[in-house]
């Protein structure tokens, strides 16, 4: 295996196995804080790891706020000791009642949620008032991705005013996610982000002039948070996700970001069906398949391999080194996209100092814990 990713004794590891290399993980958390300037500016997204131990490692370095997308993640984060949770996912249907249940189960945890439409705003306000409690609501602002949110215009102003006027709701600021800013050049990315940011600030200032509080702007993902980090605005909360583990995809997409992949999937050769093929136990039930077929992972120890077929439990590689491998031999795959890969595994094997040191449950892979 690659010198950077050593595991002394793999004989007890059932493959395919998600593995985290502790030293890289610690470095990535440190580097994230370095870019932010201060741990207090960060609200990382836990969807990448879904793991209480990672929340606690971040807390040990001073990160006290977390962002999430599901109630399972929110509950995992609260159970891990975090007292400030932002559920950046517009609530509809049974999630309105789950927000009440969360407030009741964790009364000492600040839960903020996002909204972008009158109907859920009214439903959430009604539910909170009925329950005799309140919740902070961030306006979901669309800065060009057109995935969720409202663009910075009169409708955004009216909705924020509505949040402020609705019993049970407290206006908490904005949520700004810009996953569409995928310019490889940092300068081009920064320029595109700044055009949108100017509109966000204009909206903010209008609302403040109208007497409304805008206490925070939760902004950015892994690709954009270094841009927001350079702005001297004390209300910005930076919310990168992927970089805590990082992956081969973000390493290639954003060359300015220096986060080595901290996780891999250990896999074994199960067959050598032809002279130039080896087949691994690494199907798309164990590694994310949102990247195109053939581009779902890389092998540090076998960079020339070409993935020619993947099914649920198999990955077939073509390589002129196939003859070097026997069934049972191991390889480490670096996933192209780690976030949906983590969600496929019940546990992560923790390697420290080149040895298996621990196992962490990926608690929030389930969509419902108790709430």
Residues that bind a second copy (CB under 8 A): 11-16, 47, 69-70, 89-90, 92-95, 98, 116-117, 119-120, 123, 140, 142, 145-150, 179, 268-274, 277, 279, 281, 284-286, 288-290, 292-293, 309-314, 316, 326-328, 330, 339-340, 343-346, 366-368
- Specify the length of the chain in residues: 371
User: Is 346 or 355 the residue whose CB approaches a second copy more closely?
Assistant: 346
At its nearest, how many Å lie between a second copy and the CB of residue 206? 21
User: Tokens 């836990």 correspond to what residue?
Assistant: 46
Instruction: Give the Cα separation of 289 and 343 in Å (integer).
Output: 12
> In the complex with a second copy, which residue's Cβ is closer, 133 or 148?
148
Q: Which is nearer to a second copy, 327 or 354 (CB)?
A: 327
Task: Provide the token pair at 343.
Answer: 């969600």
| Residue closer to a second copy, measured from CB, 39 or 169 | 169
| Nearest-approach distance from CB 322 to a second copy, in angstroms | 12
CB of 60 to a second copy, least distance (A): 27
> Smaller CB distance to a second copy: residue 74 or 270?
270
Measured from the CB of residue 187, what is the shortest distance to a second copy in angstroms?
Answer: 25
By beta-carbon proximity to a second copy, the closer residue of 116 and 237 is 116
CA torsion 195-198-200-203 (nearest 10°) is -140
Q: Which is nearer to a second copy, 64 or 276 (CB)?
A: 276
Q: The tokens 């795959």 sit on which residue?
A: 333
Q: Which residues are bridge partners to 217 per DSSP?
A: 174, 236
Shortest CB 159 distance to a second copy, Å: 12
SS (H, E, C) the chain: CCCCCCCCCCCCCCCCEEEEEHHHHHHHHHHHHHHHCCHHHECCEHHHCCCHHHHHHHHHCCCCCEEECCHHHHHHHHHCCCCEEEECCCCCCHHHHHHHHHHHHCCCCEEEEEECCHHHHHHHHHHHHHCCCCEEEEEEECCCCCCCCECCCHHHHHHHHHHHHCCCEEEEEEEECCCCCCCCCHHHHHHHHHHHHHHHHHHHHHHHHCCCCCCCEEECCCCCHHHHHCCCCCCEEECCCHHHCCCHHHHHHCCCCCCCCCEEEEEEEEECCCCCEEEECCCCCCCCCCCCCCCCEECCCCCCCEEEEECCCCEEEECCCHHHCCCCCEEEEEECCHHHHHCCCCEEEEEECCEEEEEEECHHHCCCCCC
Looking at the Cβ atoms of 41 and 268, the one nearer to a second copy is 268
Q: Considering the complex, what minimum distance in angstroms separates the CB of residue 153 from a second copy?
A: 12
Instruction: In angstroms, give the least distance from the CB of 14 to a second copy.
Output: 5
Smallest gap from residue 61 Cβ to a second copy (A): 25
Q: Name which of 123 and 169 has its Cβ closer to a second copy.
A: 123
In angstroms, what is the minimal distance from the CB of 317 to a second copy? Answer: 11
């Amino acid at each position: 295996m690659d010198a950077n990713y050593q595991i002394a004794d793999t004989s007890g590891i059932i493959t395919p196995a998600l593995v985290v290399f502790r030293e890289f993980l610690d470095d990535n958390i440190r580097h994230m804080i370095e870019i932010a300037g201060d741990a207090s500016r960060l609200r990382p997204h836990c969807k990448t790891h879904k793991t209480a131990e990672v929340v606690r490692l971040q807390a040990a370095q001073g990160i006290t706020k977390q962002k999430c997308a599901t109630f399972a993640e929110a509950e995992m984060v609260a159970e891990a000791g975090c007292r400030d949770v932002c559920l950046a996912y517009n609530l509809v249907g049974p999630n309105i009642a789950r927000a009440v249940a969360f407030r009741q189960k964790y009364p000492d945890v600040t839960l903020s949620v996002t909204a972008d439409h009158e109907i859920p705003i009214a439903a959430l306000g009604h539910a909170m008032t009925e329950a005799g409690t309140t919740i902070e609501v961030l306006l979901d602002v669309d800065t060009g991705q057109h995935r969720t949110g409202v663009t910075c215009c009169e409708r955004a102003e009216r909705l924020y005013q509505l949040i402020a006027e609705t019993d049970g709701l407290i206006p908490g600021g904005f949520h700004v996610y810009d996953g569409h800013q995928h310019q490889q050049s940092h300068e081009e990315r920064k320029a595109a982000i700044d055009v949108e940011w100017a509109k966000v600030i204009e909206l903010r200032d209008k609302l403040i002039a109208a007497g409304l509080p805008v206490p925070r702007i939760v902004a950015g993902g892994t690709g954009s948070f270094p841009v927001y980090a350079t702005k001297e605005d004390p209300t910005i909360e930076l919310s990168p996700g992927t970089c805590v583990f990082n992956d081969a995809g973000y390493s290639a997409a954003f060359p300015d970001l220096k986060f080595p992949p901290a996780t891999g999937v250990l896999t074994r050769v199960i067959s050598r069906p032809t002279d130039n093929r080896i087949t691994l136990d690494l199907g798309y039930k164990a590694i994310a398949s949102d990247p195109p077929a053939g581009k779902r992972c890389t092998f540090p120890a076998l960079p020339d391999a070409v993935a020619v077929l993947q099914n649920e439990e198999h990955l077939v590689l073509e390589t002129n080194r196939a003859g070097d491998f026997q069934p049972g031999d191991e390889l480490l795959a670096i996933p192209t996209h780690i976030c949906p890969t983590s969600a496929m595994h019940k546990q992560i094997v923790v390697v420290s100092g080149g040895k298996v040191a621990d196992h962490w449950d990926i608690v929030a892979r389930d969509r419902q814990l108790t709430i």
